[in-house]
Each structure stands twice: as C-alpha cells, then as structure tokens.
Amino acid sequence: MLQIAHIKDNRDAVIAGLEKRNFKDAAAVVDNALEIDQNRRNVQQELDSVLAQSNAMAKQIGGLMKAGKKEEAEAAKAETGQLKAKSKELDEQLKVLSSDLDEVMYTIPNLPHSSVPAGKTPEDNEEIFKHGEVPVLHEGAKPHWDLISDYDIIDFELGNKVTGAGFPFYKGKGAKIQRALINFFLNEAEAAGYGEIQPPIMINEASGYGTGQLPDKEGQMYEATADKLFLIPTAEVPLTNMYRGDIIKEEALPIKHAGYTPCFRREAGSWGAHVRGLNRLHQFDKIEIIQIRKPEESYAALEEMVEHVKGLLEKLELPYRILRLCGGDMGFTAALTYDFEVYSAAQERWLEVSSVSNFENYQANRLKLRYKVEGKTQLLHTLNGSALALPRILASILENNQTADGINIPKVLQPFCGFDKIN
C-alpha cells in the first residue's frame, strides 16, 4: 500500500502515476484519502489535547486533596469525568477514520516505475528482448492438447470427472516430466543462491492483505470459508508473509527464497483455443523466487532475477521474448513487471510463462516489513518471479520438440526424466 505521507507530499505526481495505470477517478480517490487523513489527524490532535488535560487534572486533584480543598477536588474530578468521556468519544472517531482510510488506501494500486510505458492493453506492452529461433515443425504437427491424448500423458477428462475442468491428471511420462521440471528449476534456484522453502499452500486473511491478493483478487482465489483460509495463487504469498511484521537485521539481507507449490486460480478465463489444454488451468505447479532487498538494491536485484529466468529458458532451448508491461497491464501491486513469453510453434503464438516484478515498498508497507539503518526503521523492497510456471513450459516443450515419431526431451531434462523421448 502507498504511504499516505508520500501521497500528501507528492499529490500531483501520485495522480499522474495512477492515471498512467488507467486507475479510474485517480484525483477523486487521492483527495478522498487526503481528506480522511486530515480529519484523522485533527481528531488525533484533539484527543492528545484532551488526554493531556486529563492527566494534568489528575495530578491537580492529588494536590487539592492534600491541601484539604475537598470541594475543588470534587469539581476537578467531575471535570476529569467529562474529559474521559470526551476522550472515549474521540478514540472511537479515530478508529472509524483509521478504518476508513485503510479501506481507501487498499483500493489504490502501486505507482508505476518511470520506465513503465503508457498503455491500456497487452498490445501496448514493450518488447525489450528476444532469443532463439522459432522451430520449423514437420507436416502434420499438432498442438499439445492433441499430443497429450495421442501419447496418453495427461488426462483432462479424468480430472473433470474427479474434480472439474482445469484440474488435469498427469500420467506416466507426463508425470515424470512434471517432476523433472520441478527438480531442474529448484536445483537452478539453489545454484543462484535461493534458499529452498516448502511453504503451506493455504494462507489466512492477514497474509492475503499483506501481499495484496486481498481485497483485490478474492474472486480469483479458492476459499475454505469455515476457517477463513485461502488456497494460494502462488508461493509468493506465503514466502513473503514469512516476514510480515518483522524488523530484519541488516546483516540478514538480502533474503532470497525459492519455493515449489501447487497454485490455484479460481477464475481461469474464458473459453477458446487460447485457454485450451495446459494454456490456463485452475491448479498448476510453479517454482517461485522472491527477494527482500534494501531499496537502493532492488532494481539491480530485479535484473538479476530476469537473467535467472533467461538462463532457464535458454537451457530448455525454448525461443522466448521479454515484455515490459504497460501501465494498464501491470498487476495491482507491481511497480515494474517483465513478462516472459515462449513461442509455441504448433499454436503459432506466444505464451506467457513468467512474470518478474519489483513491488518497491508497496507490499512492505502492508506487511510492516522493515529493517534498521542508522538507528531508524525503513521499509524494505520486495520482488518476486516465476521460475518457472510449468503448464505452458510443458506445452511448449511438447509442441516445439515433436517429430514424426515422437517428442524429444530437452537435453537438460533428460537426467531428471530418465528418458530422452516420448513415443
């Protein structure tokens, strides 16, 4: 969440940043927040004054009693009672105003970094890098949803029977490729200095608010209503919330974690070829990397994470490109996001496989995640990235490596799979 002091000191720049994100009624929302904050400050100031008067009166009563001035002491006690009633009333007002301010602030997204291009839709995103040659497939090449049926490695109908649409079963070599990808990605993360964590796959409401899934994305998450718990959309949420409310020792920085989890997305999208097969699921596997850094280090860390993901895709021999997302296509909490897309030769289109983002201090302010520098506490910066999400990576591997007599497995995965071909 943005800091109200920053909004107060930089009103026009904040509004301009929100407008770059196409945030509706930016000026009205900002001014509403500032008005509530000013009312809160006024009530706080009045409450402080009443409490000071009440404390001074309490000391005065003691002196009057010692001096034998009983009537004056009783009058002072009556006045103290009125001050206590007034302070209680002001305290209730303060709680309401603080709650109102939080509600407004939770609706305001992060401000975009200066490098974020203007735009409203994915078509306005900026391509900044491309690598690899698009493979030329044999005649009769198929999209992955036909290949998985031909080789009986993933079963959507069985998943639909047992759970519902978007919850596939991985079978035989399909299951082994999943495990191979998970182990490969985790090994690469460890080599890059990320400590492996296996986190819970359910979170409480405070964790959802901490990283910004609530109140923005509650419609996209599965909820265990009896316990007010949510299935995670990504390992970013539990990994980052490990440090909610903490003051990190400077010598413990930077913090780098990697976690493998299943991920759950309730809203999996509309019907059509672009969401067929593995292109969009309700449950999928992903390795997530997160970093917690000092503010002055976070953009260098972002580039480090980008290079890590590039290395994974190049080792898998997949053609890919990197997009810098425009203001209208970025996630609610991000200041800058790079999307990685892999080219699917059979579908003849680009598939998003990773997002790498710097949230600056937006999540940290929600989380109250700080460190001490020169005796003062300061908010840290948080970053996260997919390294990588499995479904579209697997789809691209199957499609791009198909031949007339089977599907070749990338060399880097063969030691993890125990086979070099699906046939």
Contacts of 142 (CB under 8 A, 6+ apart): 150, 346, 399, 402
User: Which backbone phi and psi does 177 adopt, to 5 degrees?
Assistant: -65, -40
In angstroms, the CA 216 to CA 109 distance is 9
Cβ proximity of 422 and 173 under 8 Å: yes
Helices (H), 351-405: 362-367, 390-400
E strands present in 148-245: 154-155, 169-170, 195-197, 202-204, 223-224, 229-231
279 annotated as ligand-binding: no
In angstroms, the CA 43 to CA 49 distance is 10
353 annotated as ligand-binding: yes
DSSP 11-29: HHHHHHHHHHTT-TTHHHH
384 annotated as ligand-binding: yes
- Of 396, 343, 397, the C-alpha closest to 134 is 343
382 annotated as ligand-binding: no
244 annotated as ligand-binding: no
In angstroms, the CA 262 to CA 309 distance is 19
157 annotated as ligand-binding: no
Helix (H, G, I), strand (E, B) or coil at 67: coil
Sign of CA dihedral 140, 141, 143, 148: positive
> Which amino acid is located at 373 in the chain?
V
Residue 307: exposed, middle, or buried by beta-carbon count in 10 A (0-12, 13-18, 19+)? exposed
355 annotated as ligand-binding: yes
89 annotated as ligand-binding: no
Could you list the residues known to form a binding site, using ranges: 234, 265-267, 288, 352-355, 384
Q: Known binding site for L-serine: residues?
A: 234, 265, 288, 384
Annotated binding-site ranges for ATP: 265-267, 352-355
